[in-house]
Amino acid sequence: MDLTVLVVLVISLALFFDFTNGFHDTANAMATPIATRALKPKTAVALAAVLNLVGAFLSTEVAKTISGGMIREGEGGVQITPEFIFAGLIGAIVWNLTTWYLGLPSSSSHALFGGLIGSALVGAGIGAIDFGVVMSKVVLPAIFAPLIAGLTAFTATRIAYAITRRYDGRPDGRGVFRYGQIFSSSLVALAHGTNDAQKTMGVITLTLIAAGMQEPGSGPEFWVVVACAVAIAVGTYSGGWRIIRTMGTGLTAVKPAQGFSAETSTAATILASSHLGFALSTTQVASGSVIGSGLGRRGSSVRWGTARSILVGWVLTLPAAAAVGAVAALLAHLGAVGIVIDAILGLGFILGIFLLSRHDRVDHASLEKEVNAAGEIVKIQKAKQRSRA
């Protein structure tokens, strides 16, 4: 297959992955403000899309980690060819769409890393992977970032409720946190664009370097930054309602003070990690923050069954995507025929998931109805308590 055609195919697939990353991870920023009715669903995703777009232009440190870190550069250049980057992207997309259909907030980032690692192992051998970089900038952040974010959210929630506690029969003033959520969720969306869009920038840059179209060690070109920013913004605007439902109502019943605390903790963790070049999972950080905020509010409960399912998804993401990437890489070894087979199988899977999702559709209208119904239940319960008093 002509190298230029192959590079165009890889870039197109990378941008599609960026699109799936957008709708897969919209929940990280907007699940809690939607759950507390601080923002309407369509307004929330539109705001997140704009801020994802802006955030993508703020840094390129994470992109450099992927384009010049995980995959070693040998004497002959990067030790992975565009064919195997194509295969790795298929692994990432397959896992991303699978977890989206299940409503499971898994890591798009780790799906990408897993797909690339599995493909590189088949295509170039174990020596192509810099496991030092993988451990220090991927695995360790995956372990510690959710814990740090959760602890921060727990502490912030405790403080928020302590300074707004009721006394002398006066209102507690906690309703103001609903407005604060607009700011905090916007900050998370900005941070998400800063961290996650860069991962696709890194993949495209890696492809151009591997094809000899860009100097090794260089960062993403401006057109790559623009294309990735637009792709993730469009994906974010499309929704990702299944995962928003899980994050917003599946882990814990979120109140405005909790939501504000969780979002602020998430944003702080992501922005600090982006500055240091850690390619962490924004989904893991956001989930850790929501759980921490649930533990921080007295009378709140965390749905540990849902939390366990999410944890299993976290553990399986990297190896599962690596396995799919490796199989796709084995087919890519066949040359142009293998690439075509990969493309047909990948397209068939995408269409299959789309058709399945139509039978159990979740959209902004159904989600808003669920949130409003939950709000009415809370009002009824409060009215009953007053009448008994």
The residue extents of the domains of the chain are: 3-388
Rounded to 10 degrees, what is the CA torsion of 152, 154, 159, 162? 180
Distances (CA, A) of 151 to 36, 39, 262, 290: 22, 26, 10, 10
The residues, any chain, with a CB within 8 Å of residue 276's CB and separated by 6 or more, are: 61
Question: Exposed, middle or buried, 384 (CB in 10 Å: 0-12/13-18/19+)?
Answer: exposed
* The predicted structure's pLDDT at residue 168: 44
The pLDDT score that the predictor gives to residue 115 is 92
The list of the chain residues with pLDDT below 70 reads 1, 59-79, 165-175, 274-280, 299-300, 371-389
**Predicted model pTM:** 0.81
Q: Which residue from 46, 47, 41, 49 is spatially nearest to 22, judged by alpha carbons?
A: 49
Distance (Å, rounded) from C-alpha 262 to C-alpha 152?
8
Alpha-carbon span 144 to 293, nearest angstrom: 17
Write down the pLDDT at residue 380. Answer: 44
Q: Classify 228 as helix, strand or coil.
A: helix
| Angle at CA of residue 229, ends 92 and 65, nearest 5° | 55
**Helix extents (H) in 212-303:** 222-237, 241-245, 256-276, 282-296
- pLDDT score of 267: 84
Residue 149, burial from CB neighbour count under 10 angstroms (0-12, 13-18, 19+): buried
pLDDT in tens, 228-237: 999 999 988 8
Give the model's pLDDT for residue 381: 47
pLDDT of residue 50: 92
Tokens of 225: 């930054």
Phi and psi at residue 315, to the nearest 5° = -65, -40
Q: Can you give the pLDDT at residue 107?
A: 82
pLDDT of residue 97: 92
Q: Tokens for 292?
A: 């921490």
Cα–Cα distance for residue pair 24/49, rounded to 1 Å: 13
247 contacts 290 by C-beta, under 8 angstroms: yes
The token pair at 211 is 């094809």
pLDDT of residue 239: 72
* CA distance linking residue 143 with residue 335, whole number of Å: 38
pLDDT in tens, 244-268: 888 777 777 778 888 888 888 888 8
